[in-house]
Amino acid sequence: MIKWRIHNPGRSKTLVYLPGLHGDWTLLGRFRLALAGRATLVELAYPRDVFWSLEEHAAGVVDALREAGVGKGWLLAESFGSQVAWALLRLLEQGLGKGFEGEGLILAGGFVRHPWPWSLQPSRRLLGSRSSRLIGKGVRFWARHVWFRNCDDPEMLADARAFLSRQGGTGRGMGRHRLQLIAQADWRAEASKARLPVYYLTGLFDPIVPWPWVVWWLKRSCPSLRGTRIVFFCDHHVLGTAAGKAADQIMRWVEGGEAPPALQKSRVPLE
């Protein structure tokens, strides 16, 4: 079952966060703070399961939103979460949203089909090898970094501890499974006929998902694309490494304060 929690209920706009490969809200703390209560934020956490398909993830999201009483909102899909989002949009198009109405889709380091699916296989092998000890060291370094930067924020410290505790044999198994789901997925048909407005946000330095290929395909084949933003001094985890700029840009999009679609699709702004 998918877990959920809600911050700042009752706002005029709602963001539904679909997490990346890590599968929960433990990396979203800086964005949550940067959002500063301007929108209701619904955070989801996938089950620790190595068998769920993308379609089962999407159905679980629908059930969680119904349980949480969320009737409409913007999907904020980070990385792997974009694959769940496309499966969810298919359910909505089929009238299987169980009362949830999507208002738009924001891809944060997301994609339609991974431009280089073959590049995911080395990562899967690494997660299953002894070399994964290096990953554990990197995770511990990240946790200390979060501790140092947010030592006065109890919620972010709790998230850092939770993130650290979930990395291990089971966590690596989930990572391998989700990478396999990404390698097999292709949502180009769904994206080409999507009715909801679509926006794209990522960092300039993204070795995980090469954004030029993603933006090129979206501009060429996704009529619902309404805007793109590439943040200059930032990486794949744009919601964390450029939390303030990401929150400001997302709120401009959801509040309808951007240029007309024709102007948005004519450029890829760098900042």
Q: What are the tens digits of pLDDT across the range 224-239? A: 999 999 999 999 999 9
Longest dimension (CA), the chain: 51
State the chain's mean pLDDT as an integer.
Answer: 84
Burial of 133 (0-12, 13-18, 19+ CB in 10 A): exposed
Terminal Cα-to-Cα distance of the chain (whole angstroms): 39
In the structure, what pLDDT confidence band is assigned to residue 144 with cuts at 50, 70 and 90?
low
Burial of 68 (0-12, 13-18, 19+ CB in 10 A): middle
Q: What are phi and psi of 229, to 5 degrees?
A: -150, 120
Helices (H), 79-223: 80-93, 120-127, 132-149, 154-165, 169-184, 188-192, 211-221
For residue 266, the model assigns a pLDDT of 39
Which of 28-42, 50-64, 164-178, 254-268 is least confident? 254-268
Strand 3-7 relative to strand 40-45, pairing: antiparallel
Distance in angstroms (rounded) separating the CA atoms of residues 51 and 172:
14
* Domains identified in the chain and CATH numbers: 3-116+186-264 (3.40.50.1820)
| Higher local confidence (pLDDT), 181 or 159 | 181
pLDDT at residue 89 greater than cutoff 80: yes
Coil, helix or strand at residue 10: coil
- Please say whether the beta carbons of 85 and 77 come within 8 A: yes
pLDDT at residue 12 greater than cutoff 90: yes
pLDDT at residue 84 greater than cutoff 90: yes
| Higher local confidence (pLDDT), 144 or 46 | 46
- Please say whether the beta carbons of 183 and 120 come within 8 A: yes
Closest CA to 228 of 201, 251, 255: 201
pLDDT at residue 245 greater than cutoff 50: yes
Q: What are the tens digits of pLDDT across the range 170-197? A: 456 787 888 889 999 999 999 999 999 9
Describe the crossing of helices 154-165 and 132-149 by its angle, rounded to 10 degrees: 170
Tell me how far the alpha carbon of residue 26 is from its chain's centroid.
12
Q: Look up residue 119 and give its two tokens.
A: 């590049």
State the average pLDDT over residues 244-271. 70
Percent pLDDT > 90 in the chain is 62
- Please say whether the beta carbons of 227 and 253 come within 8 A: yes
For residue 264, the model assigns a pLDDT of 45
pTM for the model stands at 0.83
Beta bridge partners of 102: 73
State the average pLDDT over residues 163-168. 56
- Please say whether the beta carbons of 36 and 96 come within 8 A: no
Distance in angstroms (rounded) separating the CA atoms of residues 139 and 133:
10
